[in-house]
């Protein structure tokens, strides 16, 4: 490493961690909370089973999760001990509006997040809040078919206005929809969209996407009006897609596939529909229904920053089936990369690639709001948990993030996905562990829920305390 490269991260860099309400809180039907789409999945939102009716005789991992709802003070104390500067979580929509279309919000739900944010701020931890993180109220699917219906724009903006008014003195960093580009790969979880057949799939997804874009613009407008100085982000899953070979067909097909994701950030950050989308609509006979004023809203109320998740990269061959899960597009193996125990390629340099790709495209701040390593953990006889692979993943990705910052990318912060073990969104498992903090819970729901620090806890603590300097010392 050359001497002119800074050996630490920018001053006031937001080091933190990230979870989602549906994967951590539990208390799925307490204090007036209504059922959400996440409450009806067994075995994860990708390969699992979605039940039209929640069956009390079946096991749903999210119903208790890690009981963060009742244990958040204990967990936040651990986050503070780690030194975290920010904490990303989501507000469960159905805690605030149990059915999504209720006339009045649920006060007990609002009070919970008041208490949660107060606890974070007491410890000097900045809340980073996602308004909708795969937690659409179940009633909005049953009654309106999710984001297929334009009526959801009104329900969402009412919900957003309520939380902005309530938490305007507590939250400065917001995001509308988690991994919005997953409308294509996991439409049911991301948008409450039930696609009946392939013929109607793309028209349905693009129409629902338009409704979400308008809702995002309206919420962004409200945020800027109600909370001066607040920042509203767009949030995407952005793993790079490499061509599988240098065959021009593979190169261009991978490029077109990438644009299917960037369609969402193009609209939300640039404020208009890109020209390539219009060709897609023409070739698939898609006629997106818009109302007068929609496109002006998109232009005038763009996102302030791009939040994104990064876990892995993939390779794509022209003509192959396009599949995806919570980590992004699933293509062909890259022989140059190792994998996690769950088969996800480990590609730290791809992290730097994505940061540069996005900053070159938008020239807006980036916020890494998910990056992490899912693996098995074993408690040794002395009670310790050694997780060197997690530490290695963290180190390599942070070094590449630092390189991206040196390249000129403006990065607000970094939140490790799952600073504490939570239910896997993709598989519904507990044994797929991301955390620096172990939670004693098993896939079948058994366990004491005891929290225990892993070795990685102490390492991340050192990284934050030194503002990243310790990473470069360890490389010498």
Residue 62, both tokens: 């999210």
Is the separation of the CB atoms in 144 and 152 below 8 Å? yes
Which residues sit opposite 291 in a β-bridge? none
Q: Which one from 119, 126, 179, 295 is the annotated catalytic residue?
A: 179
Is the separation of the CB atoms in 312 and 344 below 8 Å? yes
Q: Please tell me the distance from the alpha carbon of residue 46 to that of residue 11, in angstroms, as a whole number.
A: 39
The HSE-up count of residue 109 (CA atoms within 13 Å, CB side) is 25
Three-class DSSP labels, the chain:
CCCCCCCCCCCCCEEEEECCHHHHCCCCCCCCCCCEHHHHEECCCCCCEECCCCCCCCCCHHHCCCCHHHHHHHHHHHHHHHCCCEEEEECCHHHHCCCCCCCCCCHHHHHHHHHHHHHHHHCCCEEEEEEECCCCEHHHHHHHCHHHCCHHHHHHHHHHHHHHHHHCCCCCEEEEECCHHHHCCCHHHHHCCCCCCHHHHHHHHHHHHHHHHHHHHHHHHHHHHHCCCCEEEEEEECCCEEECCCCHHHHHHHHHHHHHHHHHHHHHHHCCCCHHHHHHHHHCCCCCCCCCCHHHHHHHCCCCEEEEECCCCEEECCCCCCEEECCEEECECCCCCCECCCCCECCHHHHHHHHHHHHHHHCCCEEEEECCCCECCCCCCCCCCCCHHHHHHHHHHHHHHHHHHHHCCCEEEEEEECCECCCCCCCCCCCCECCCEEECCCCCCCCCCCEEECHHHHHHHHHHHCCCHHHHHHHC
Is the separation of the CB atoms in 370 and 18 below 8 Å? yes
Residue 59, both tokens: 């096991």
Query: Alpha carbon of 409 to those of 91, 95, 97, 314, 360: distances in Å?
Result: 29, 37, 38, 23, 8
* Residue 179 is a catalytic residue: yes
Q: Please tell me the distance from the alpha carbon of residue 113 to that of residue 317, in angstroms, as a whole number.
A: 45
Q: Which one from 119, 135, 295, 370 is the annotated catalytic residue?
A: 370
* Residue 119 is a catalytic residue: no
Catalytic positions, written as ranges? 179, 370
């Amino acid at each position: 490493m050359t001497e002119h490269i800074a050996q630490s991260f920018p001053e006031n860099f937001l080091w933190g961690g990230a979870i989602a309400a549906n994967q951590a809180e539990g208390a799925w039907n307490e204090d007036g909370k209504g059922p959400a789409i996440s409450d009806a999945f067994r075995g994860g939102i990708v390969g699992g089973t979605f039940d039209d009716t929640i069956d009390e005789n079946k096991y749903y991992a999210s119903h208790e999760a890690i009981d963060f709802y009742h244990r958040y003070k204990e967990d936040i104390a651990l986050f503070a001990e780690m030194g975290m500067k920010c904490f990303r979580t989501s507000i469960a929509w159905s805690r605030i509006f149990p059915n999504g279309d209720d006339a009045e919000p649920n006060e007990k739900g609002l009070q919970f997040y008041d208490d949660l944010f107060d606890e974070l701020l007491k410890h000097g931890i900045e809340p980073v809040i996602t308004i909708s993180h795969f937690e659409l109220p179940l009633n909005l699917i049953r009654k309106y078919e999710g984001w297929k219906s334009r009526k959801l724009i009104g329900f969402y903006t009412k919900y957003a206005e309520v939380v902005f008014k309530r938490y305007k003195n507590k939250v400065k960093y917001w995001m509308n929809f988690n991994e919005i580009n997953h409308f294509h790969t996991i439409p049911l979880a991301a948008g409450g969209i039930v696609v009946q057949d392939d013929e109607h799939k793309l028209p349905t997804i693009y129409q629902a996407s338009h409704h979400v874009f308008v809702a995002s613009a309206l919420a962004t407008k409200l945020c800027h009006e109600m909370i001066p100085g607040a920042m509203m982000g767009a949030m995407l899953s952005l793993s790079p897609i490499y061509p599988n070979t240098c065959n021009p067909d593979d190169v261009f097909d991978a490029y077109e596939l990438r644009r299917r994701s960037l369609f969402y950030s193009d609209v939300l950050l640039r404020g208009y529909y890109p020209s390539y989308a219009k060709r897609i609509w023409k070739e698939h006979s898609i006629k997106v229904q818009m109302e007068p004023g929609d496109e002006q809203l998109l232009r005038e109320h763009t996102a302030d920053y791009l939040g994104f998740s990064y876990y892995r990269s993939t390779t794509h061959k022209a003509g192959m089936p396009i599949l995806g899960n919570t980590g992004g597009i699933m293509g062909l193996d890259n022989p140059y990369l190792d994998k996690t125990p769950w088969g996800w390629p480990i590609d730290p340099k791809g992290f730097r690639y994505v940061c540069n790709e996005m900053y070159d495209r938008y020239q807006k701040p980036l916020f890494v709001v998910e990056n992490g390593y899912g693996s098995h953990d074993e408690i040794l006889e002395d009670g310790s948990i050694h997780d060197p692979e997690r530490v290695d993943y963290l180190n390599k990705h942070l070094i590449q993030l630092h390189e991206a910052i040196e390249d000129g990318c403006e990065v607000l912060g970094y939140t490790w996905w799952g600073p504490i073990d939570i239910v896997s969104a993709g598989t519904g498992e507990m044994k797929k562990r991301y955390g620096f903090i172990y939670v004693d819970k098993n896939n079948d729901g058994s366990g004491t829920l005891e929290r225990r620090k892993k070795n990685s806890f102490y390492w991340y603590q050192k990284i934050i305390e030194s503002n990243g300097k310790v990473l470069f010392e360890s490389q010498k």
